[in-house]
Structures are given as structure tokens and as C-alpha cells.
Chain A
Amino acid sequence: AQSVTQPDIHITVSEGASLELRCNYSYGATPYLFWYVQSPGQGLQLLLKYFSGDTLVQGIKGFEAEFKRSQSSFNLRKPSVHWSDAAEYFCAVGPEGFSGGGADGLTFGKGTHLIIQP
């Protein structure tokens, strides 16, 4: 079974500083990988996704993530954070059948809570 690990429960970053949130996955084949963001009291919003091809993917709000198969990682980055980026961030992996034939749900990490210092 697939699993996702987000090693950092909380991260504090100064406004304007760079950000990297870590995500490691365990999966037998090429995974489908996602990053979602959740603001307080809100649902999850998709930041970006990786299915195949270029291992560096660009998302919304200036975020990017890099898929590294050798490290089983899909870390999220942003060069300069804004106070509005304070939120909970979730990494998720889709199963092999996610390509369309299957429809199993996503497996989520436990989340990283991002705090922005002024």
C-alpha cells in the first residue's frame, strides 16, 4: 500500500524568505503526486500535480515542486513567501489505478502547518 510522509509538522518562515516543504512517498510504481493547501475553515485547494514528464512542475500562487524518483520525494518550494501563504499543506499520492481505469481515493500525508513571521 502506498504511504506519504511529511516529516515536518510545523514550519516557521519569515515573510520574504524561501520555503521548502518536504514530502516522501512509498509506492511501487510511478506515482501520481499532488500538493494541496488548506486555509483555516476551508476545503483543500490544488496547488500542483505531477503525472509524468518534466520532473519540475509549476503550480498556482508561485509554488513549484520537484519529483525525484531516486529519493522518493516530491518537495514543494516557493522562492519568497507572503503572509497569505500561512496555511496547512498536504502532499498526496494517487494509486496505480488513478490513471482513469481505477478511482481509488488519494493517500494523504498528515500535513505541514506553515507559520509566517512578519
Chain B
Amino acid sequence: NAGVTQTPKFRVLKTGQSMTLLCAQDMNHEYMYWYRQDPGMGLRLIHYSVGEGTTAKGEVPDGYNVSRLKKQNFLLGLESAAPSQTSVYFCASRGFGSNQPQHFGDGTRLSIL
């Protein structure tokens, strides 16, 4: 029972490089989310998706793009990485319904040099 799986778990990039973080869920959830976690800041929402083919901006979307081509996958892209994007990134998903909590992956630790 995998739940929410994030790939990769760790990555080091140089400034200006691009990369894509992958989130996969096997719970048939409609909604998916990308958060970043920084020391002393809690988690902040980057982008989210309410279903296949849809995306929306969260609190801190600048510098990131997302895609939801398949219901089970939610991709987070950094086109030109900056040191300010060094963070731990968490993906979450939840089902449709008023009593459905978010389920989180184990995170991706990303360092931009």
C-alpha cells in the first residue's frame, strides 16, 4: 500500500539547472498538492490540482510549474533553479469529500548550489 510516493528523495542542482519532481498516488484521489517546507516557516502551498488536466496557483507559485496529465501523477518543475528554492518539497493528495484529510509523501530534499 504505497500511498503517496515522491521521486527523487534527494537532489543537488546548480543554479540555472532545471529538474522535475514526480509525485504519484495510488489512492485514486482527485486533489493533489505541492508544498515546500523551510525552517521556521511550516509548509507553504506552491500549486495544487483539482483533477486530471487542471492546475492552480497556491501561496508561493513563482519559479515553479506543474502538470497533471494523469490522475495519479502530479509533476513539479523548476525551469531555472535558484538558491532560494533550496527546500524540502512535499506532495499530498486527498479524496473528494468533506471529511477527507491530506495524505503526504516522505518529501524530496532539494539543494541548489
Contact = CB atoms under 8 A, between A and B. Distances in A.
A112 to B, nearest CB: 10
Interface string B34-62: 01000011111100101000000011000
Contact of A108 (B42, B97, B103): B42
A17 interface: no
Nearest to B31: A103
Query: What class of interface size applies to chain A in its complex with B?
Result: 20 to 34
B83 interface: no
A110 B30 contact: no
A28 interface: no
Contact of A90 (B43, B45, B96): B43
A106 interface: yes
Contact of A43 (B30, B40, B44, B107): B107
Q: Which of A4, A44, A45 has the most CB of B within 10 A?
A: A44
Contact of A110 (B40, B48, B101): B40
Interface residues of B, number: 30
B30 A51 contact: no
B99 A44 contact: no
Nearest to A98: B98
A111 B96 contact: no
Given A103-B50, A106-B45, A108-B42, A51 B90 contact: no
Contacts of B96: 100
A46 interface: yes
A49 B30 contact: no
Nearest to A32: B98
A4 B16 CA distance: 34
A74 to B, nearest CB: 14
A46 B7 CA distance: 22
Contacts of B77: none
A107 to B, nearest CB: 8
A106 B98 CA distance: 14
Interface of B: 4, 30-31, 33, 35, 40-45, 48, 50, 58-59, 90, 92, 94, 96-107
9 contacts: A44-B92, A92-B43, A99-B98, A100-B98, A104-B48, A107-B45, A108-B35, A110-B40, A110-B42
